[in-house]
Amino acid sequence: MTLLPAADMERPLEPLWRGLLVYRVLTLVSSVAVVLYTLDEFASPVGAMVVLAVMTGWTAVTTYGYFGGLPGARDGRGRFAIADLAVTSGVMAATLLVQSPAQIAADDPVMGSIWTPGAVLACALFWGVRGGLAAAAVISGMLLLISATFRTELGDIELILLVGIVIGFASTVLRRSAERLRRAVAAEAAARERERLARAVHDGVLQVLGLLRRRGAELGGDAGELGALAGEQEFALRTLLTTGPAPVDGEGRRDLAAALRVAATSRVVVSTPAHPVELPAHAVDELVGVVGAALANVERHVGPHAPVWVLLECTDEGVEISVRDEGPGIPEGRLDDAADEGRLGVARSMRGRVRDLGGEIVCETGPERGTEWIIRLSR
């Protein structure tokens, strides 16, 4: 698979910004040529030359600003785009001062002519469709203010609006594609690193843990318990190496399914959707903490070898996590009594966390039916 250079992934719109520079320079040359060719028709030839000088100088300024000549220029492109729109509007407004009444009545090109949509392109590149439409509305309004009749400018207005929409949409798609590509590259790099670590760990740590598990089972007693613990760690380490942790993406989101799969052991069965279940990173951390508290309760009250099932379901309304065991169940009123006694494990570690996320947690339990914690969180 051929990947884009890192610079292109970090700044996917750079080719379009360079295209804006080329457009600005070429349209400036064309506008200057048209004005110079018809200079004797202007009411104020000197004023027309001043406007051309302003256009030339501003083209140089925006080029310097848009392409890194100023500190933090790439981060400040939005401010430059707004200033660009204001200067362009001023250049168009100068038409009423420098052109003759005959030129205005004949609907000659306004000052700036095809140079003016450059501001629309800049706004569309930086803010997407909304920015392109807003800038196109400003430029179109200036055209209507200056033109003699609406009909002659209708075609130009349609083109400017289409430019704002198309370039804005293209910039949005490119940003999203670059983000997806960054995630894919990061996932591939993480997978390769896990493979490298798996080879190294398999030749050392996993073999030792496996040996401890087998020898402990043979010896029994305390050694058997140590062997069982070694087996748990072996299983957890294998799961971590094969699935990996759930990284945080550029938007501050994590895959809840991947985060829960790491909790799987020989006694904890974790079932999740095959596709990522992305939530804000802090929500994933809290939900993993709730599940961890439930698993700790099973180990403490049911037994260290008790099987547990963790199920993650993703629906249109949100996500639902269930943690179920086959223990004796929780006696009626025991949770309330524990809270009254100051034991805040369930109240704080589980219910408090889910409540802070705006979700709900339900405990279904009873004699001979085990205990099931159900956590629901809407999207």
Same domain, 230 and 253: no
In a domain, 275, yes or no: yes
Same domain, 135 and 222: no
CATH code for the domain in which residue 275 is found: 3.30.565.10
> What is the identity of the amino acid at 246?
A
Place of tokens 């362009």: 88
Same domain, 330 and 351: yes
Whether pLDDT at 194 is above 70: no
Same domain, 331 and 347: yes
Same domain, 92 and 153: yes
So what's the pLDDT on residue 198? 62
Q: Which residues pair with 322 in a beta bridge?
A: 311, 374
Q: What is the dihedral of CA 66, 183, 284, 379, to 10 degrees?
A: 70
In a domain, 374, yes or no: yes
What is the pLDDT confidence band of residue 183, given thresholds at 50, 70 and 90? Answer: confident
Quick: pLDDT tens for 259-308: 888 888 778 889 998 888 888 888 888 898 888 888 888 887 788 778 99
Same domain, 92 and 163: yes
Query: How many domains are there within the chain?
Result: 3
Same domain, 171 and 106: yes
Whether pLDDT at 341 is above 80: no
What is the pLDDT confidence band of residue 71, given thresholds at 50, 70 and 90? Answer: very low
The two three-digit tokens of residue 149, written as one number: 């009749």
In a domain, 344, yes or no: yes
* Residue 185: HSE in the Cβ half-sphere, 13 Å Cα cutoff: 15
User: Domain range for residue 161?
Assistant: 6-180
Same domain, 231 and 168: no
In a domain, 1, yes or no: no
The three-state (H, E, C) secondary structure of the chain, written as one string: CCCCCHHHHHCCCHHHHHHHHHHHHHHHHHHHHHHHHCHHHCCCHHHHHHHHHHHHHHHHHHHHHHCCCCCCCCCCHHHHHHHHHHHHHHHHHCHHHHCCHHHHHCCCCCCCHHHCHHHHHHHHHHHCHHHHHHHHHHHHHHHHHHCCCHHHHHHHHHHHHHHHHHHHHHHHHHHHHHHHHHHHHHHHHHHHHHHHHHHHHHCCHHHHHHHHHHHHHHHCHHHHHHHHHHHHHHHHHHHHHHHCCCCCCCCCEEEHHHHHHCCCCCCEEEECCCCCCEEEHHHHHHHHHHHHHHHHHHHHHCCCCCCEEEEEEECCCEEEEEEEECCCCCCCCHHHHHHHCCCCHHHHHHHHHHHHCCCEEEEEEECCCEEEEEEEEEC
Tell me what percent of the residues of the chain surpass a pLDDT of 70. 77
In a domain, 62, yes or no: yes
In a domain, 199, yes or no: no
Same domain, 126 and 47: yes
Same domain, 346 and 228: no
Q: Which residues pair with 318 in a beta bridge?
A: 378
Most confident of 47-56, 60-69, 76-85, 353-362: 47-56
Quick: pLDDT tens for 7-52: 456 678 888 898 999 999 999 999 999 999 999 999 999 999 999 9
Same domain, 43 and 169: yes
Phi/psi region, residue 377 (left: phi>0; alpha: psi -120 to 50; beta: rest), is beta
In a domain, 185, yes or no: no
Q: Closest by alpha carbon to 57, among 28, 78, 80?
A: 28
Whole-number Å distance between alpha carbons of 350 and 290: 5
Same domain, 136 and 20: yes
Q: What is the dihedral of CA 332, 333, 337, 340, to 10 degrees?
A: 160
So what's the pLDDT on residue 70? 45
In a domain, 193, yes or no: no
